[in-house]
């Protein structure tokens, strides 16, 4: 906490430099943002690092969904796997993508910090995408089927480790730019809210366009080209992130959060006899841990209870990446009354992404109209930000 306060008061944020004012040091000035200036656009009050993170996330999500959208059909049509085998591999890949964030969080919190975790694992991510594109380049041949299968599996492993490893860091790293570089006040709170709206808008816009574009490239060019386009976007994401390196605040590793949470739970059980009547079962751990960390663990436990049913939902929801695509392959996607377009089986997944995109747009519009003082001024501001 003392270090965070130091940065708020004008210290240097370091990206690996041992001394303040090093090559990558970023000066953080206390008066860089004037709070309470009602005539000033909120956009101009954002830290300069935010634009790099927003565009980085857009490109990364375009890459991930552009590859994932066509994956099931690629495994069946190019590698000649059965639909069941393809489904198994697709969902094994998805599981890996959402299990590796634990590793990414550990590296970020204990070893590398958020900046280096994102940077290094983005390189792994890029490598996986190019291996995927090269694996799809040869024409299907029974003699090379085994080699292509293992190269594809290796590519998916690299992509899963890359995307999963950076997943817990992106939004948190953006939050750090605001939390530790802007003075407390109403403007800071407003910027925090708007940053996350913009961040997840970038996520959904990137996902939407790649889900539409991926099948188009697959049909009109080739699978290799369809995988190469996301690879190019991921390289763009890496370069954009690297270009902003001198503007970032990078909080040093703070220690193993998993071990700390586990220690609180274990000590609460050991010291349960000290707990007074009516207290939470974790309160007894306050004898060895700070009240703040115990309260955080209590909040975590409440959230975990709410999340218990979610695996059932996601087990069904993610079938749209496999079984739903194969089912759509048996249907006629032509819409004669709407410009005679034909929706491809893997483009069917765009429906839920479009829903998420519209939810964010409508919620942002509601915030503009109901929360801000001058609706017209802020509509202009948000439209300007959107087109930027």
Name the pTM for this structure.
0.77
Residues in Cβ contact with 351 at an 8 Å cutoff, skipping those fewer than 6 apart: none
Q: What are phi and psi for residue 39, nearest 5 degrees?
A: -85, -5
pLDDT in tens, the chain (388 residues): 444 444 444 333 444 443 333 344 444 444 344 434 443 456 677 788 899 999 999 999 999 999 999 999 999 999 889 999 999 999 999 999 999 999 999 999 888 989 999 999 999 999 999 999 999 887 766 666 778 889 999 999 999 999 999 999 999 999 888 888 777 778 888 888 888 888 988 988 898 899 999 999 999 998 999 999 999 999 999 999 999 999 998 888 887 788 888 888 888 888 877 777 767 888 888 878 888 888 888 888 888 888 888 888 888 888 888 899 999 888 888 888 878 888 888 888 776 656 666 766 676 666 556 555 444 444 444 444 443 3
DSSP 252-266: PP---HHHHHHHHHH
Positive or negative torsion for Cα 301, 306, 312, 315: negative
Contact (CB, 8 A) for 214 and 344: no
Helix H or strand E encompassing 13: strand 12-13
Kind plus residue range of the DSSP H or E element containing 375: helix 375-387
Among candidate residues 354, 55, 29, 370, the one with its CA nearest the CA of residue 193 = 370
Compute the distance between CA of residue 93 and CA of residue 177 in angstroms, rounded to an integer. 32
Please choose, from the candidates 278, 251, 199, 228, the residue with its C-alpha nearest in 3D space to the C-alpha of residue 28. Answer: 251
Query: What DSSP string describes 311-352?
Result: HHHHHHHGGGGTHHHHHHTTS--EETTTTTEE--GGGGGHHH
- Predicted local confidence at residue 227, as pLDDT: 95
pLDDT value at residue 338: 79
Which pLDDT score is estimated for 369? 62
Tokens found for residue 33: 């943002």
Give the other-Cβ count within 10 Å of 368's Cβ: 20
Smallest CA-to-CA distance from 200 within 360, 363, 378 is with 360
- What is the pLDDT, as a whole number, of residue 333? 80
* Sign, CA torsion 158/161/164/166: negative
* Residue 335: strand pairing partners: 341
* 132 in Cβ contact with 227 (< 8 Å): yes
Short-list 42, 67, 57, 362, CA closest to 202 = 57
Tens digit of each residue's pLDDT (9 = 90 or more) over 100-137: 999 999 999 888 989 999 999 999 999 999 999 999 88
Calpha distance 52→124 (Å, rounded): 20
């Amino acid at each position: 906490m003392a270090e965070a306060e130091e940065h708020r008061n004008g210290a240097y944020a370091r990206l690996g430099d041992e001394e303040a004012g090093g090559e990558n040091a970023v000066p953080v000035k206390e008066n860089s943002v004037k709070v309470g200036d009602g005539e000033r656009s909120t956009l101009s009050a954002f830290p300069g690092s935010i634009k790099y993170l927003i565009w980085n996330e857009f490109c990364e999500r375009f890459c991930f969904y552009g590859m994932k959208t066509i994956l099931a059909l690629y495994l069946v049509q190019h590698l000649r796997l059965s639909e069941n085998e393809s489904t198994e591999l697709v969902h094994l890949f998805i599981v890996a993508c959402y299990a590796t964030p634990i590793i990414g969080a550990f590296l970020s919190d204990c070893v590398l910090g958020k900046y280096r975790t994102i940077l290094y694992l983005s390189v792994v991510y890029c490598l996986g995408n190019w291996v995927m594109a090269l694996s799809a380049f040869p024409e299907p041949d029974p003699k090379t089927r085994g080699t292509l299968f293992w190269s594809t599996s290796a590519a998916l492993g690299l992509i899963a480790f890359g995307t999963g490893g950076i997943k817990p860091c992106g939004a948190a790293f953006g939050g750090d730019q605001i939390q530790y570089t802007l003075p407390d006040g109403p403007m800071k709170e407003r910027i925090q809210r708007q940053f996350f709206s913009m961040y997840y808008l970038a996520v959904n816009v990137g996902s939407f366009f790649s889900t539409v574009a991926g099948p188009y490239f697959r049909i009109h060019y080739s699978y290799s080209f369809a995988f190469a386009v996301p690879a190019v976007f991921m390289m763009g994401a890496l370069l954009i992130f690297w270009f902003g390196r001198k503007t970032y605040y990078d909080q040093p590793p703070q220690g193993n959060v998993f071990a700390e949470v586990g220690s609180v739970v274990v000590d609460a059980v050991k010291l349960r006899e000290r707990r007074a009547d009516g207290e939470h079962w974790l309160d007894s751990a306050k004898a060895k841990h700070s009240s703040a960390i115990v309260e955080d663990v209590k909040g975590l436990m409440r959230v975990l209870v709410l999340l218990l049913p979610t695996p059932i939902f996601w087990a069904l929801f993610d079938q749209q990446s496999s079984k739903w695509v194969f089912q759509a392959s048996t249907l006629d996607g032509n819409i004669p009354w709407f410009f005679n377009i034909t929706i491809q089986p893997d483009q069917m997944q765009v429906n839920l992404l479009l829903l998420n995109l519209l939810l964010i747009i409508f919620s942002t519009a509601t915030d503009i109209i109901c929360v801000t003082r001058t609706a017209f001024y802020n509509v202009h501001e948000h439209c300007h930000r959107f087109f930027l």
